[in-house]
A and B are shown apart, each in its own frame.
Chain A
Amino acid sequence: MVVSVGVLYYCIGYTGYISTLSWDGASPQPIPIGTQNYTRLFEDPVFWKSIAHTGIFFVVTFAVQVGLGMFFAILLHSKVQLGVLYKVLIFIPVVLAPATMAPVFRQIYAPEGQLNQLIQAFGPRDFDYAWLADQNTALMVVMSVAIWQSTGVVFVLYYAAMSQIEPDVMEAARLDGAGNLRIIRSIIWPGVRGTTLAIAILTAIGSLKTFDWPFLVTQGGPAYGTEFLGTQIYRVSVALSQVGYGAALSIVLLVLALSVAIVLNIAGKDKEASRV
């Protein structure tokens, strides 16, 4: 345990050290530059774009995943035929590798892709919108793909959490005349509060670390329209050989992830306390 923790924190410490260097990652003589990488970071418009995209990504993916995950969980807790099959279908995207699926999504959203063909079938026949070439729609594509993949996990978490709610409580509510919406609002939603908080923390940290989908589908583009901290770190560290600057971005990412986790935890506990 001590060894593992030692190595883990050594890596973080070493990244912190690299962040104070001007270094291409291979040169034997890196140049110490103090906090210059950090000051540069705050003047870097791409960094702020990455932060903004992370915020949008978190809000949208969290809201949609929670909505869909809860919807599926409630649906499958009721008496539905072929329930097991639906559970499998909802969960399958979770186990598919992004590297395998990225070309599929690039094809679906291409100007001659299946999405446009679908729109052509029901609307204008010459519709050939380049979804990945527009900054706004490209970000939507990345978010939609992430939601497609992660909703299965949220569903499983909610499904398990709902299993913990006493059926008697719901039965009593029904006898008191509560409808479905009232039961969801007053019994299920408070009952899965801890799960929602956990999902929020996981989604927030996942948003900060987002890399695979934007890198594989849009390469962070167009014009940095889908750049996230992860893709920026990779680009400056690898393509531009600015390893020191990449390390500074990594440290900022770490600080943000820890801060978000702490804030969400505290917020969750405060709310819990106020309900007692």
Chain B
Amino acid sequence: MFQAKRRLIRSALVTTGFLAAGALALSGCSASAPSNDGGSATEGTIQWWSWTPDNDLAQREIAEFNKEFPNIKVTFKKVPNADYTGVLRPALASNDGPDVFTVAASGAVGPVNVFAPYAQDLTPAIAEKLGSDWKSQIAPTMADAFTVQGKLAGLPWAKQGAGKMWINKDLFDKYGLSAPTTLQEWVKVCETFRANGHGCFKEGVGGSGFDVDTLHSIANSVEPGVFTAAARGEKKWTDPAMVKAWEIFKQLSENGILDEGAVGVQQYPDVNNAFLTGKVPMVQMGYWYSQYATVNSLTAALSGAGVPAETPKITIVPVPFPDVAGKGNPSTVFSDPDAAQAVNTKSKSRSAATTFALWLGGSKAGQQVVANNVDSIPTLKGVEAAWDSVQLVNPEVQTPLLREFAKETAESTEPRQQSLAAVHIQAVIDANQALLTGQRSPSQVAEDVQSVADANPVSK
């Protein structure tokens, strides 16, 4: 009996040891070398995980890809921004992660510097496809943004820009208003909207970080380039121009421009739903919002917001950010190498995954679909949206403005958040919240952000 008991205990301990060793291996946190040949480059099944684009846009891209590569089946899994990094980390640590995964140049959502250890070096593949001068064929800084320790960890696929406001043109027309160009005009426009029962400028300062763009625009109005200089560590966040920017941000709240309760509101879904359903006339969003100027994407968004199908589709247009500092500085568009497709080194379909990544970011056909989705700017030079074939809600009004925004984003060299690590972005979000809730003054939040910057110096 005792022997049987001992055997039971021994076998249990051995099993536990195996399990523990297995768990250790799983959590060993290093990407093991590929243990397969990567399969065929023209057939197979691959999983693509990303936070962008929306499902309908991704399906268009996959459908176009399949016209050229009908034997590669791509399954797209869209993971919400906030969850992406958390979901991707254990997936890549296991042997069952996605074959292709999207990485960001910076920030907290799938940053390439975090996930590069799991990504295959795509340099030889892109050099073979586009030639040795491939870097000159894509938008500037793209290759560097996704190169980690000499490895091209993701094939650049999309560029993103911000720095403009979006207005509901129909509402502005209804009340005979023009887009505000100064702080004073902005106050008056908001008075009219509020008198008629609308909100005015709605912003989600509740933690998602879109307010960083607003602060950036305000800072550029005070002194062009000061935000970027602070982000790069070339200027202090306590620079008088940045303090002034925070003062103006607070004024937006005090002057009745910013809608009540901004710090309790999320950009998605709160602000997005309120704007697209015609409740508020103004928001700050980037080029990605162009997709909602199209009939299909706006219809899908309204459906997602749970409004009746017959709800009128609004005409949204991008307008310059007002000269809130009154110094005559023009509104600027700032942009980032937004996303790239990485190929999982552990994928059993590495070759097919590479084919997909190369097609999406490195072929004119792939980049044309990206451009026509009007969600982001293609990175391959010489490709732009075929505006005549894009079905807009109000083409006459929207086409010239969207075309201009796309051009400005494509040509922009001012970084959006590329120089900011996640901890810096969090510090700016914290500062904006503390400012708008009245806990800290503009000069105090500037000091707060600078202290975070001092503790986490910019690495580049």
CB within 8 Å of B: which residues of A?
2-3, 6-7, 10-11, 14, 23-28, 30, 103, 106, 110-111, 128, 130-135, 138, 218-225, 234, 237-242
Q: Which residues of B from 230 to 266 have beta carbons under 8 Å from A?
A: 259-266
Using Cβ atoms and an 8 Å threshold, which residues of chain B touch A7? Answer: 16, 19-20, 23
State the Cβ distance, B215 to closest chain A Cβ, in Å. Answer: 16
State the Cβ distance, A65 to closest chain B Cβ, in Å. Answer: 25
Is A138 a contact of B207 with CB atoms below 8 Å? no
Using Cβ atoms and an 8 Å threshold, which residues of chain A touch B264? Answer: 130-134, 138, 218, 221-222
Q: Which residues of B from 201 to 241 have beta carbons under 8 Å from A?
A: 205-208
Is B20 a contact of A6 with CB atoms below 8 Å? yes
State the Cβ distance, B444 to closest chain A Cβ, in Å. Answer: 13
Contacting residue for B117 out of A28, A220, A221, CB 8 A = A28
1/0 per residue, CB under 8 A from A, across B389-425: the answer is 0000000000000000000000000000000001100
Is A27 a contact of B117 with CB atoms below 8 Å? yes
Is B117 a contact of A10 with CB atoms below 8 Å? no
1/0 per residue, CB under 8 A from A, across B422-440: the answer is 1100100010011011010
Expressed in whole angstroms, the Cα–Cα distance for A221 and B434 within the complex equals: 10
Expressed in whole angstroms, the Cα–Cα distance for A133 and B20 within the complex equals: 46
Contacting residue for B27 out of A14, A219, A220, CB 8 A = A14
Nearest-neighbor residue (CB-CB) of A128 within chain B: B260
Nearest-neighbor residue (CB-CB) of A28 within chain B: B30
Contacting residue for B437 out of A3, A28, A133, A219, CB 8 A = A133
Using Cβ atoms and an 8 Å threshold, which residues of chain A touch B89? Answer: 25-26
Closest 10 CB pairs of A and B: A130-B261, A132-B264, A133-B264, A6-B16, A222-B263, A133-B261, A28-B30, A2-B12, A238-B86, A223-B433
State the Cβ distance, B172 to closest chain A Cβ, in Å. Answer: 21
B13 within 8 A of A: yes
Is A24 a contact of B114 with CB atoms below 8 Å? yes
Is B12 a contact of A3 with CB atoms below 8 Å? yes
Q: With A6-B19, A7-B16 given, is the CB distance from A25 to B263 under 8 Å?
A: no
Using Cβ atoms and an 8 Å threshold, which residues of chain B touch A238? Answer: 83, 85-86, 108
Q: With A26-B29, A28-B31 given, is the CB distance from A223 to B430 under 8 Å?
A: yes
Expressed in whole angstroms, the Cα–Cα distance for A132 and B426 within the complex equals: 20
State the Cβ distance, B63 to closest chain A Cβ, in Å. Answer: 31
Using Cβ atoms and an 8 Å threshold, which residues of chain B touch A132? Answer: 206, 261, 264-265
**Which size class do B's interface residues fall under?**
35 or more
Q: Which residues of B from 1 to 56 have beta carbons under 8 Å from A?
A: 9, 12-13, 15-16, 19-20, 23-24, 27, 29-31
1/0 per residue, CB under 8 A from A, across B69-100: the answer is 00000000000001101100100110000000
Contacting residue for B433 out of A10, A24, A28, A222, CB 8 A = A222
Is A28 a contact of B23 with CB atoms below 8 Å? no
Expressed in whole angstroms, the Cα–Cα distance for A130 and B206 within the complex equals: 12
Is B19 a contact of A221 with CB atoms below 8 Å? no
State the Cβ distance, A114 to closest chain B Cβ, in Å. Answer: 15
Using Cβ atoms and an 8 Å threshold, which residues of chain B touch A218? Answer: 206, 264
1/0 per residue, CB under 8 A from A, across B309-350: the answer is 000000000000000000000000000000000000000000
Expressed in whole angstroms, the Cα–Cα distance for A3 and B11 within the complex equals: 10
State the Cβ distance, A186 to closest chain B Cβ, in Å. Answer: 46
Using Cβ atoms and an 8 Å threshold, which residues of chain A touch B423? Answer: 240, 242
Q: Which residues of B from 268 to 316 have beta carbons under 8 Å from A?
A: 269-270
Nearest-neighbor residue (CB-CB) of B422 within chain A: A240
Is B262 a contact of A133 with CB atoms below 8 Å? yes
Using Cβ atoms and an 8 Å threshold, which residues of chain B touch A224? Answer: 430
Contacting residue for A25 out of B23, B114, B205, B261, CB 8 A = B114
Expressed in whole angstroms, the Cα–Cα distance for A103 and B265 within the complex equals: 12
Question: 4 extra interchain contacts, Cβ-Cβ under 8 A, other than A26-B29, A133-B261, A238-B85?
Answer: A25-B114, A110-B265, A130-B261, A133-B262
Could you list 28 examples of A-B contacts with CB < 8 Å?
A: A2-B9, A2-B16, A3-B15, A7-B23, A14-B23, A25-B89, A27-B117, A28-B30, A28-B31, A30-B29, A110-B270, A111-B260, A131-B264, A132-B261, A138-B264, A219-B206, A219-B208, A221-B207, A222-B205, A222-B437, A223-B430, A223-B434, A223-B439, A224-B430, A239-B82, A239-B426, A240-B422, A241-B85
Expressed in whole angstroms, the Cα–Cα distance for A238 and B13 within the complex equals: 34
B111 within 8 A of A: yes
Q: With A3-B16, A26-B29, A27-B114 given, is the CB distance from A220 to B260 under 8 Å?
A: no
Is A27 a contact of B29 with CB atoms below 8 Å? yes
Using Cβ atoms and an 8 Å threshold, which residues of chain A touch B30? Answer: 28
Using Cβ atoms and an 8 Å threshold, which residues of chain A touch B15? Answer: 3
Expressed in whole angstroms, the Cα–Cα distance for A30 and B85 within the complex equals: 18
B65 within 8 A of A: no
Using Cβ atoms and an 8 Å threshold, which residues of chain B touch A134? Answer: 264, 437
B118 within 8 A of A: yes
State the Cβ distance, A82 to closest chain B Cβ, in Å. Answer: 33
State the Cβ distance, A100 to closest chain B Cβ, in Å. Answer: 13
Is A240 a contact of B260 with CB atoms below 8 Å? no
Is B437 a contact of A135 with CB atoms below 8 Å? yes
Using Cβ atoms and an 8 Å threshold, which residues of chain B touch A3? Answer: 12, 15-16, 19
Nearest-neighbor residue (CB-CB) of B32 within chain A: A28
Expressed in whole angstroms, the Cα–Cα distance for A1 and B441 within the complex equals: 57
Using Cβ atoms and an 8 Å threshold, which residues of chain A touch B359? Answer: none
Is A106 a contact of B270 with CB atoms below 8 Å? yes
Nearest-neighbor residue (CB-CB) of A26 within chain B: B114
Using Cβ atoms and an 8 Å threshold, which residues of chain A touch B27? Answer: 14
Nearest-neighbor residue (CB-CB) of A238 within chain B: B86
State the Cβ distance, B127 to closest chain A Cβ, in Å. Answer: 26
Is A221 a contact of B206 with CB atoms below 8 Å? yes
Is A240 a contact of B437 with CB atoms below 8 Å? no
Using Cβ atoms and an 8 Å threshold, which residues of chain B touch A220? Answer: 207
Using Cβ atoms and an 8 Å threshold, which residues of chain B touch A239? Answer: 82, 85, 108, 422, 426
Is B260 a contact of A130 with CB atoms below 8 Å? yes
Using Cβ atoms and an 8 Å threshold, which residues of chain A touch B208? Answer: 219
Contacting residue for B207 out of A11, A110, A219, CB 8 A = A219
B115 within 8 A of A: yes
Nearest-neighbor residue (CB-CB) of B87 within chain A: A238
Is B422 a contact of A241 with CB atoms below 8 Å? yes
Is A241 a contact of B111 with CB atoms below 8 Å? yes
Nearest-neighbor residue (CB-CB) of A109 within chain B: B264
